[in-house]
Amino acid sequence: MLGDGLAPRALCGGNGAPWRGPVTRRGPAMSIYLVTGASSGIGREMAKQLAGDGHTVYAVARRKEALDELAKEAGGRVVPFVCNVTYRDAVHSICLALPTLPDYVILNAGIGRFEPSRGFDFRIHEDTFATNYFGAIHFVDELLPKFIERKSGTFVAVSSLAARRGLPRIAAYGASKAALTWAFESMRAQYSKHGVGFVTVHPGFVDTPMTTGQKGMMFLWPVQRAARHILKRLHKGALDISFPLGMRLITGLLRLLPARLHLALAKRI
């Protein structure tokens, strides 16, 4: 059976109560995290901060050298797992290889490519959903039965404020993030009674390799601030972590606009 090699953690809660917050509240101060997309940007910074706070981090990404460097920097608390999350079999293999079932699974690996202003690129849609949506869902598929059995565990999806309303040239990116948010909200409602949490994260612009060279990034946050904010809110038991306030307000307003007004504004971007 999948993930049979995973040892349950003795002190992770697991009292059968509905999910009300992070396991660290009920269990040990030091938790085990799996972070995807840990070789760069927000994922790398979260992994670094978690390890610095004394937690153990299973760091997942494709670039081995980058993961090894992170592990070296983090002084033994980061365990690298080289994996392309778009492949279900690869995710299955690393989940079998995890020394212990994690408390938190932070599904952060993502890609964001601008689409051509003329024509249509099917491949961008396919690749973006393979990474941003299925790359996260593969881990849910593998680990949810184990979390249900243990009666604790938290999945965290790093979505985006770009999921709030359609904008030009990011149809695939916005759609993949909206799908992820929607799936997580549904699963949150379905599985909280089993003690399993589903947290959504909606960042605005964060200064990482993904945004390097982009223009017009309003309310841009340094990556350290974004990672610290996500982890702080996660540990306080937030169900949704959206930031910064300025972008939250703008995207919230966009969401409320009737279609014609949205079109008039969005086509100018």
Ligand X SMILES: NC(=O)c1ccc[n+]([C@@H]2O[C@H](COP(=O)([O-])OP(=O)(O)OC[C@H]3O[C@@H](n4cnc5c(N)ncnc54)[C@H](OP(=O)(O)O)[C@@H]3O)[C@@H](O)[C@H]2O)c1
Which one, 12 or 46, has the nearer CB to ligand X?
46
Which of residues 37, 80, 102, 244 is near ligand X by CB under 6 A?
37
Residue 66 binds ligand X, judged by CB under 6 A: yes
Which one, 30 or 111, has the nearer CB to ligand X?
111
Site string for ligand X, 183-222 (x = CB under 6 A): --------------------x-xx-xxxx-----------
173 labelled catalytic: yes
Which of residues 109, 140, 143, 199 is near ligand X by CB under 6 A?
109
- What is the C-alpha to C-alpha distance for residues 11 and 32, in angstroms, rounded to an integer? 12
Cα four-point dihedral sign 174, 180, 183, 189 = negative
E-assigned strand segments in the chain: 32-36, 56-61, 78-82, 104-107, 153-158, 196-203, 206-207, 221-222, 240-243
CB of 29 to ligand X, least distance (A): 27
Residue 100 binds ligand X, judged by CB under 6 A: no
Residues that bind ligand X (CB under 6 A): 36-43, 61-63, 66, 84-86, 108-112, 131, 135, 158, 160, 203, 205-206, 208-211
Just list the catalytic residues. Answer: 173
